[in-house]
Amino acid sequence: MSQTDGYGDGTRCVHAGLPEPAPGEPFLPGPVFAAPYHLDPAGGDAAAGRDWYGRPGNPTRRNLEAAIGELEGGDCLAFASGQAALTALLLSLVRSGDTVVLPADGYFTVRAFADSVLAANGVTVRTVPTAGPHPSFEGVRLVLLETPANPGLDVCDIADLAARAHAAGALLAVDNTTATPLGQRPLDLGADLVVASGTKALTGHSDLLLGYLATRSPELLATVRTWRDTTGSVPGPFDAWLAHRSLATLDLRLARQSANAAAVARALRSRSDVSGVRWPGLGDDPAYPVASTQMRRVPGIVAFDLGSAERVARFLSAAELVFAATSFGGLHTTADRRAQWGDDTAPGFVRLSCGVEDTADLVADIGRALDRSA
């Protein structure tokens, strides 16, 4: 049981991963910059404890891993990016001759990696829409879910699919980037592993790249740790420290982002010149029945269609509070046209990530920009 179990989300975020209080020491120690560490002249690395070289061991990184592990409910490994964490998951646990199932509507770079690397190395890759229907998992080594899916925001039942995967002898992993561990805890729902980009809402300040993987299985953790330590895909100590510092405000940031998304989604639904509005918190959204029971809070992302690439460009140029940028989950509201990056979406499809601006200001600015873009 972690030191923050039993407390509310805000308390857990503020205190997760902090060392025991010591007079004269800061609440969160500053980053430890070290490649080599002092060794015992006689005992070498065996007598050095956990830290003898910076790639396998760093105390700043361990503090961050402890914090994220407390929030996810498992043991955590930090990576240099979300993609590094995802590729470590796939390459360390899947072998030639295995079959993996990936979301057809999830993060496109994962599918591109699977098609170009896994398939070339003898792995059978199947893709299934997040909303299903999901086929039998017999003969499958690993099932990867992304829920809510990025960018379409469909949701699937983690507990049901975990039970089906385990009955077939498969592992189930969940990309928790969009939800964050305050939105849902997949390990509590039966998932074997959680993987995510910490670049997005988890850290939320748009100033670092980070990924992580969490599990309750010592065997799986050891396998992925060996992969990470030998390939070297670790975050630097300053990024790890920045990420840990940012976790303290996660609860506050998500609360405003979710409230903004609810208001923006309702405003968009009221307009005849906007179509395909998706936000799993809307009562009539296709994802709502599962999201309302599975998720503890709905993320601040809204998807919609403006009909053409040209209108998206006009909308983004007219908006004052919506920055044209990729990624999501930051303090500032951003939007991007996903088709430009290779996502299989309509030309006018927009993923809008609500920031922490005042709700009334944001809704008014988006409305004005839509009027001008029309």
- For residue 223, is pLDDT > 60? yes
Phi, psi of 108, deg, nearest 5:
-65, -30
Q: What is the pLDDT of residue 47?
A: 61
Tokens 């940028």, located at residue:
325
- For residue 22, is pLDDT > 90? yes
How confident is the prediction for the chain on average, in pLDDT?
96
Q: What is the pLDDT of residue 46?
A: 65
The answer to whether the beta carbons of residues 351 and 324 sit under 8 Å apart is: no
Dist CA 222 CA 62 (whole Å): 15
Query: What CATH topology corresponds to 9-247?
Result: Aspartate Aminotransferase; domain 2 (3.40.640)
Task: Indicate the domain borders of the chain.
Answer: 9-247, 251-373
Locate 365 and state its tokens: 């600015």
Q: What is the pLDDT of residue 1?
A: 39
CATH number for 251-373 (one of 1.10.1380.10, 3.90.1150.10, 3.40.190.10, 3.40.50.720): it is: 3.90.1150.10
Name the more confident of 292 and 43: 292
Q: What is the mean pLDDT of residues 6-13?
A: 95
| Global pTM value | 0.95
Dist CA 314 CA 324 (whole Å): 11
Dist CA 110 CA 7 (whole Å): 35
Dist CA 210 CA 247 (whole Å): 13
- For residue 5, is pLDDT > 80? no
- For residue 358, is pLDDT > 50? yes
Give per-residue pLDDT as tens, 156-214: 999 999 999 999 999 999 999 999 999 999 999 999 999 999 999 999 999 999 999 99
The answer to whether the beta carbons of residues 108 and 115 sit under 8 Å apart is: no
Give per-residue pLDDT as tens, 71-127: 999 999 999 999 999 999 999 999 999 999 999 999 999 999 999 999 999 999 999
Dist CA 150 CA 133 (whole Å): 18
Q: What is the pLDDT of residue 4?
A: 67
Give per-residue pLDDT as tens, 252-300: 999 999 999 999 999 999 999 999 999 999 999 999 999 999 999 999 9
